[in-house]
Amino acid sequence: MGLTCSTCKRKSIVDLYHVEKTSADQMVVALAGNPNTGKSTLFNELTGLKQHTGNWPGKTVTNAKGFHKRKDKEFIIVDLPGTYSLLANSVEEEVARDFICFAKPDATIVVVDATCLERNLNLVLQVIEITNRVILCVNLLDEAEKKHIKIDLKKLSDELGIPVIGTVARSRKGLEELMDTVYNVCTKKIIPSPKPTIYTETIETEIQKILNMIKPIVPDGFNPRWIALRLLDGETDILDKITHYSYCKGVCKHA
Amino acid sequence: MKAIYIPLNKVETGQTCIVQDLRATGAQRRRMLDLGFIKDTEVKVMRRSPLGDPTAYFIRNTIIALRKEEASKILVKVNS
């Protein structure tokens, strides 16, 4: 076959990160969120596909792609596996994280479960640390209503600094508004300005030190503060990944 | 009076307790924090599996199962 281990690996990473855009009017939108918050249901409603949905966590293991047309743009929607965190612990989490970090989608929709918002917001904070092109989709509002949970979407949006849309994906409620917002974020009519998480003074000082060192070497489009934080976490393979990804992008361009 | 902290795996079924400290490190610690085991969080011991391990805990509106070696790294104060 002539395939060596290293070429296979490289190819698979190219496949994973490289969502082919066939025209300039295409936009890549990622769907992220905790397990079992309705990402796949939302994905099916938006794309008209019938990707397997089920009420159990861990169903989507790799990512699925679909299309959604809106005005003059076509959105390539990528359904990511559910994760509690972007600090990769398992393959699924790594897929989701690497996609958001390295494939740099034009927008990321973070889907959260309205009935347990607190648990879900951890991931939201992690995503807005990486990119500002984030839309929060508070899903399962019908379930929350049943449990007499009321969510102040406006206040949530003010606190986080990103657009927040309430939806019931199952009955398509709020999806129009959601996609209008996604459209506006992709076309830069709305530029979300998420409020950064400020850490303790000790950590902030260290972040500054690392930032000064890495700023000249961080490629365009990567958030240096986020990389500094990962390095502080002791995650040194992040640098390998960046180098690897930059290399892969080169391969795609030349191919 | 000095508060007595015990590992989570020693808490009886049905009792609730408050997370005080995590002795786990590295990825495991990160994971626990992601799952919501943060200081001052309330945890209820739901039930133990027939062989005594793992145990189901109710935390921040979700039930999570932990093995003994993981639970033993979470120090809690039992609610009286």
Q: DSSP string of A79-103?
A: EPPP-S-SS--SHHHHHHHHIIIII
> By C-alpha distance, which of A186, A180, A189, A185 is closest to A46?
A180
Q: Over 80: is that where the pLDDT of A244 sits?
A: no
Q: Which of A144-153, A236-245, B66-75 has the lowest mean pLDDT?
A: A236-245
Buried b (16+ CB within 10 A) or exposed e, B26-57: eeeebbbbbbbbeeebebbbeebeeeeebbeb
Considering chain A, what is the average pLDDT of its residues?
83
Q: What is the CA radius of gyration of chain A?
A: 18
- If one compares B23 and A22, the residue with the highest pLDDT of the two is B23
Residue B48 lies in a domain: yes
Range of the domain at B68: 6-78
Domain boundary among A158, A186, A214: A186
Contact residues on chain B for A84, CB-CB shorter than 8 A: 34-35
Cβ within 8 Å, pair B34-A116: no
What global pTM score does this model have? Answer: 0.81
The token pair that represents B8 in the structure block? 């989570």
Residues A247 and A125 both lie in one domain: no
Q: How confident is the model at residue A16 (pLDDT cuts 50, 70, 90)?
A: low
Mean pLDDT value of segment A62-91: 82
**Residues A214-224: tens digit of each pLDDT:** 888 887 778 88
% of chain A surpassing 90 pLDDT: 43
Residues A80 and A167 both lie in one domain: yes
Give the amino acid at A6. Answer: S
Cβ within 8 Å, pair B60-A115: no
Q: Over 60: is that where the pLDDT of A187 sits?
A: yes
Residues A116 and A218 both lie in one domain: no
Residue B17 lies in a domain: yes
Residues A135 and A242 both lie in one domain: no
Helices (H) and strands (E) in chain B, counts: 2, 6
Residues A243 and A179 both lie in one domain: no
A207 to chain B nearest CA, in Å? 19
Q: How confident is the model at residue A255 (pLDDT cuts 50, 70, 90)?
A: very low
B25: closest chain A residue by CA: A233
B59: closest chain A residue by CA: A119
Residue B60 CB neighbours (<10 A):
17
Residue B1 lies in a domain: no
Residue A82 lies in a domain: yes
Residue A64's CATH number:
3.40.50.300
Whole-angstrom CA distances from B20 to A113, B17, B57 are 27, 9, 16
- If one compares B53 and A50, the residue with the highest pLDDT of the two is B53
Alpha-carbon distance of A81 to A51, in angstroms, equals 13
Cβ within 8 Å, pair A84-B34: yes
Number of domains in chain B: 1
**Residues A191-200: tens digit of each pLDDT:** 999 998 899 9
For residue A7, the model assigns a pLDDT of: 44
Residue A90 lies in a domain: yes
Contact residues on chain A for B34, CB-CB shorter than 8 A: 84-85, 87, 89, 122
Contact residues on chain B for A119, CB-CB shorter than 8 A: 36, 60-62
Give the amino acid at B28. Answer: Q
**Residues A144-177: tens digit of each pLDDT:** 999 999 999 999 999 999 999 999 999 999 999 9
Contact residues on chain B for A87, CB-CB shorter than 8 A: 30, 34
B21 to chain A nearest CA, in Å? 18
CB-closest option in B26, B27, B61 to A116: B61
How does strand B55-59 pair with strand B42-48?
A: antiparallel
Residues A125 and A61 both lie in one domain: yes
Residues A42 and A109 both lie in one domain: yes
CB-closest option in B27, B30, B36 to A119: B36
Q: How confident is the model at residue A86 (pLDDT cuts 50, 70, 90)?
A: confident
Residues A179 and A241 both lie in one domain: no
If you ran DSSP here, which 8-state letter would residue B5 be given? P
Residues A158 and A41 both lie in one domain: yes
Alpha-carbon distance of B24 to A193, in angstroms, equals 35
Residue B15's CATH number:
2.30.30.90
Q: Over 70: is that where the pLDDT of A62 sits?
A: no
Contact residues on chain A for B32, CB-CB shorter than 8 A: none
Cβ within 8 Å, pair B34-A118: no
Number of domains in chain A: 2
Whole-angstrom CA distances from A129 to A1, A99, A142, A228 are 43, 15, 29, 11
Range of the domain at A221: 201-254
Q: Over 70: is that where the pLDDT of A188 sits?
A: yes
